[in-house]
Amino acid sequence: MDLVEFENVSMRYGEEGPMAIENISLSVRENEFVAVVGPSGCGKSTLMKLVTGLAPPSDGYVYLGGKQVSGPQRGVGMAFQASNLLPWRTTLDNILLPMEIVQDYRHRFRAEKAKFQEQGRALLARVGLAGCEDKFPWELSGGMQQRASICRALIHRPSLLMLDEPFGALDAFTREELWCMVRDLWQEEPFTVVLVTHDLREAVFLADTVYVMSKGPGRILVRKPVDLPRPRDLAVTYTDEFAELVFELRDHIGRIREESA
């Protein structure tokens, strides 16, 4: 079953503004891990806005779970490059925020707060943050803040997780640790993921399918299945097969830049 579907979707900024994306058609199967890569300004983040209902398309249709997207979607979790943790809330209170505002849970939050807190503690433990429940954001490293941000995106068990450059501001070692964290969460309890990233190694390591977008207005130029077996260990990133996939994607993006120069 396709969870996400774009049908000839275009979007422009304002009534007479430039096109952000043009004539995009793609589908994401339920529990598939998809990565979208491309040069800056190609419209990768625009796709996220369209899927989550934060912006409407100018032309075409976007479907989520078989229903046309016509407004903000509550069954979607999102994490960004900035963790955006609220500084006055503890780690546990930060990740429980969706339970207070998502319609399916907010009317139950007061009565079932202890139950939700236990779920939050268990999720934090799964990402290596046991013992950090009562710490404030400034007491956490950048990697720890991003772990908490992803927990917040997952706490209400969304059908779709949207990741917009979530590891872009982290050092290389921390970034790889978080790749493995997301991999483990996804393999233990599968959900659908759309990852927007500039990091081709990240895309190949995590995804089932990688889409390459053109320079703006963004169009889908390449759909590349990643046939590396799962589960994937970091050691796979040093194999010839992995390097060939990364090089192929890099070659596509290099050609895009040359053509637009």
More confident residue, 258 or 155: 155
- Give me the architecture of the 1-69+192-241+254-261 domain, per CATH: 3-Layer(aba) Sandwich (3.40)
pLDDT at 215 over 90: no
Q: Where do we find the tokens 């983040």?
A: 45
Residue 107, pLDDT score: 85
Q: What is the average pLDDT across 6-20?
A: 88
Q: What is the average pLDDT across 101-128?
A: 90
- Encoded tokens for 52: 């989550």
Domain ranges of the chain: 1-69+192-241+254-261
Question: Rounded to whole angstroms, how far apart are CA atoms 61 and 212?
Answer: 20
pLDDT at 261 over 80: no
- Residues forming beta bridges with residue 50, ordered by sequence position: none
pLDDT band at 256 (very low <50, low <70, confident <90, very high): low
Q: Would you give the distance in Å from CA 13 to the centre of its chain? A: 23
Residue 66, pLDDT score: 92
Residue 43, pLDDT score: 84
Question: Rounded to whole angstroms, how far apart are CA atoms 90 and 62?
Answer: 36
pLDDT at 259 over 80: no
* Residue 196 main-chain phi, psi, to 5 deg: -100, 125
* Predicted confidence (pLDDT) per residue in 143-200, tens digit: 999 999 999 999 988 999 999 998 988 899 999 999 999 999 999 989 999 999 989 9
Q: What is the average pLDDT across 195-214?
A: 95
Please enumerate in sequence order all residues whose Cβ is within 8 A of that of 1, keeping only pairs 6 or more positions apart, or say none.
Answer: 29, 30, 66
Q: What is the average pLDDT across 12-18?
A: 81
pLDDT at 260 over 80: no
Q: What is the average pLDDT across 85-109?
A: 90
pLDDT band at 42 (very low <50, low <70, confident <90, very high): confident
Q: Residues 179, 35, 250, CA angle at the centre, nearest 5°?
A: 95
